[in-house]
Every structure is written in C-alpha cells, then in structure tokens.
Copies of this chain bind each other. A is one copy, B any other.
Amino acid sequence: MKALKERIMSEGRCLPGGILKVDVFINHQMGPVLMEEMAEEFVRRFEDVRVDKVLTIEASGIAPAIMVGYLLKKPVVFAKKNKPSTMGDFYVTKVFSFTKNREYDVCLSKAYVNEGDHVLFIDDFLANGNAAAAILDLMSQAGATISGMGFLIEKHFQAGGAMLRSSGIRVESLAIIDSLEDCRIRFKE
C-alpha cells in the first residue's frame, strides 16, 4: 500500500538489529487518517471472505482493528496480555516476546469467540509470528475459523509470514519489508 510505504520511508526509523521504529504514526503516536485508509485496504483485500468478528491483541492492534470493525459493522475483540481479575471463563495460551524478552499469557474470554465463528485477525506487525501462532491456538481452542490475517507491516526476512502461509492461512500485509540490512529500509516488490 503506497501511502503506508511512503510514510514508513519518511517517518520510520531503522535501528541496529533489524528493528523498524514506527512509533511516530503506528504504535505509540497514531495517525488516525492513515489508520482508516489502511482499514479500508484490509476491507478491500478480504472482501471475499466471511468475517463474523475482528480479532486483535492489545495494544497496538486495537486501533487498526476497531477501524476495520467499524467499516465492516462487526464486533471487535482484543485478546489480553494478562488475565483481568474480573474475567470469567477464558481461553489462554503463551507467547514469547522477543522485543520484551519474556513469555506472557494471552487470554480471551470464552464468551466472545464461539465455535463456528469466522474471525479476521488484525495486528500491526508480523515478524516471527509468535502472536499470530498464539491466535491460531486460541481459535483452535474456540473451534473458530480464521478467515484471514492482516498486518500493517510484515518483516519478510523473519519467519512468521512463511509459517502462516505454509499453514494455509490467508495473509495480507500492507507493507512488506524485505530487508533492514545496514539500517536501510527495502520493500519487497
């Protein structure tokens, strides 16, 4: 998606170790107009699949997911990184975060994804695919079907995209980074 790639080139920052910082418009400060345009693009790309619910993980996935849900007029559910004390029955799985270098639980109330639901997962980044794998596990526990997974930015040089696509998951990423070598941002054509 052209507008996103241009924004990454103009405002993204590449740090040593394959880190792309986009917290000026995606995951700390957010540009709501671009966010809505990205949601429109997801709706276009997934227009041929059934979506009963939009699913994401807190926190950076919430903004694009609520915009997609608003356009589709479908409920949006966000999986939580800690079990809230007032939450009842829930599905739970574990995720290892490389950014934070620790494992954490991801929880989803059993009330909000049901057997037979067709779910569109939306998140900001696809890198190693750990969060996406956790979602696959939660949806398998729920007996729900993944209609597709949409990411704002995919790091194609990390394993997540290949893992998901080889599992038969429909993946749509709005900007695919081929390399961040030498702190230069190169997109996949």
Contacts and interface: CB of A to CB of B under 8 A. Distances in A.
A75 B30 contact: yes
A112 B111 CA distance: 37
A78 B31 contact: no
Given A62-B63, A85-B100, A35 B70 contact: yes
Interface in A18-35: 19, 21, 23-25, 28-33, 35
B28 A112 contact: yes
A167 interface: no
A33 B73 contact: yes
Interface string A137-178: 000000000000000000000000000000000000000000
Contacts of A112: 24, 28-29
A84 to B, nearest CB: 7
B70 A32 contact: yes
A134 interface: no
Nearest to A113: B29
A59 interface: yes
A130 B179 CA distance: 43
B28 A77 contact: yes
A122 interface: no
Contacts of A100: 82, 84-85
Interface of A: 15, 19, 21, 23-25, 28-33, 35-36, 58-59, 62-63, 66-67, 69-70, 73-78, 80, 82, 84-87, 99-101, 109, 111-112
